[in-house]
């Protein structure tokens, strides 16, 4: 489904390479992607970064990257998701409305693997920041996960996952729901 290089690429690592991406993207006009996979970010990475990414395992990537990302967890700084929302970085969009955006994970863990994010983060760097006032957007995100599952044809078998903090492999500090399906999902869930 994805190349070896892509399989080792995660949003978290991309976050760490943000400065490189910015510098590189300024000089590159990304072609429009017709693939169903969200695979444009890799194109934006300098070759040396792609090579270094491909040398580590995905699992260790996620844990290590989550730990690295957590160093700035308290920050309200923009993340790579802001660029995706702004369409400054192309993504394979599955669903969109005025409140949320759903797009394919660049490092899919199942035949269907979609991320759903609120367009306005509103302090929700992570679910741990949720307050009663966030009830509406949180409910909307879960309703969106059903819509995404329906669109992807996995309504009879899908899992929604929300990671919070390094202990759960959260690698981007903008709340996001993972929607996975298209294969038998195992137990325990990680």
Cα–Cα distances in Å, from 124 out to 3, 93, 144? 32, 21, 17
**Residue 135 corresponds to which tokens in the numbers above?**
């009830």
For residues 26-85, which are near a copy of itself according to CB under 8 A? 58-59, 62-63
Residue 93 and residue 102: Cα distance in Å, rounded? 6
Among residues 38 and 90, whose Cβ is nearest to a copy of itself?
38
Please report how close the Cβ of residue 40 comes to a copy of itself at its closest, in angstroms. 22
Q: Tell me if 110 sits within 8 A of 182, measured CB to CB.
A: yes
Among residues 84 and 154, whose Cβ is nearest to a copy of itself?
154
Q: Which region, left, alpha or beta, applies to residue 39 given φ > 0 means left and ψ of -120 to 50 means alpha?
A: alpha
Stretch that binds a copy of itself, among 47-55, 84-92, 115-123, 147-155 (CB under 8 A): 147-155
Q: Active site residue: 113, 174, 176, 178, which one?
A: 176
For a copy of itself, the binding residue among 131, 151, 173, 176 (CB under 8 A) is: 131
For a copy of itself, the binding residue among 166, 172, 174, 176 (CB under 8 A) is: 166
Active-site annotation holds for 176: yes
Can residue 185 be called a binding residue for a copy of itself (CB under 8 A)?
Answer: yes
Q: Which region, left, alpha or beta, applies to residue 120 given φ > 0 means left and ψ of -120 to 50 means alpha?
A: beta
**Residues carrying an active site annotation:** 176
């Amino acid at each position: 489904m994805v190349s070896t290089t892509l399989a080792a690429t995660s949003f978290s690592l991309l976050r760490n390479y943000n400065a490189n991406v910015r510098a590189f993207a300024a000089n590159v006009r990304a072609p429009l992607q017709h693939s169903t996979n969200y695979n444009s970010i890799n194109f934006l990475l300098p070759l040396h970064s792609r090579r270094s990414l491909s040398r580590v395992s995905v699992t260790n990537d996620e844990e290590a990257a989550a730990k690295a990302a957590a160093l700035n967890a308290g920050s309200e700084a923009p993340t790579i998701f802001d660029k995706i929302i702004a369409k400054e970085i192309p993504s394979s969009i599955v669903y969109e409305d005025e409140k949320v955006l759903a797009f394919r994970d660049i490092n899919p863990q199942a035949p269907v693997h979609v991320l759903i994010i609120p367009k306005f983060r509103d302090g929700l760097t992570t679910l741990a920041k949720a307050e009663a006032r966030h009830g509406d957007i949180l409910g909307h995100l879960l309703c969106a996960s059903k819509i995404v599952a329906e669109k992807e044809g996995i309504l009879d078998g899908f899992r929604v996952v929300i990671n919070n903090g390094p202990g759960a492999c959260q690698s981007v500090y903008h709340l996001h729901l993972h929607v996975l399906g298209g294969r038998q999902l195992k137990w325990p869930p990680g």
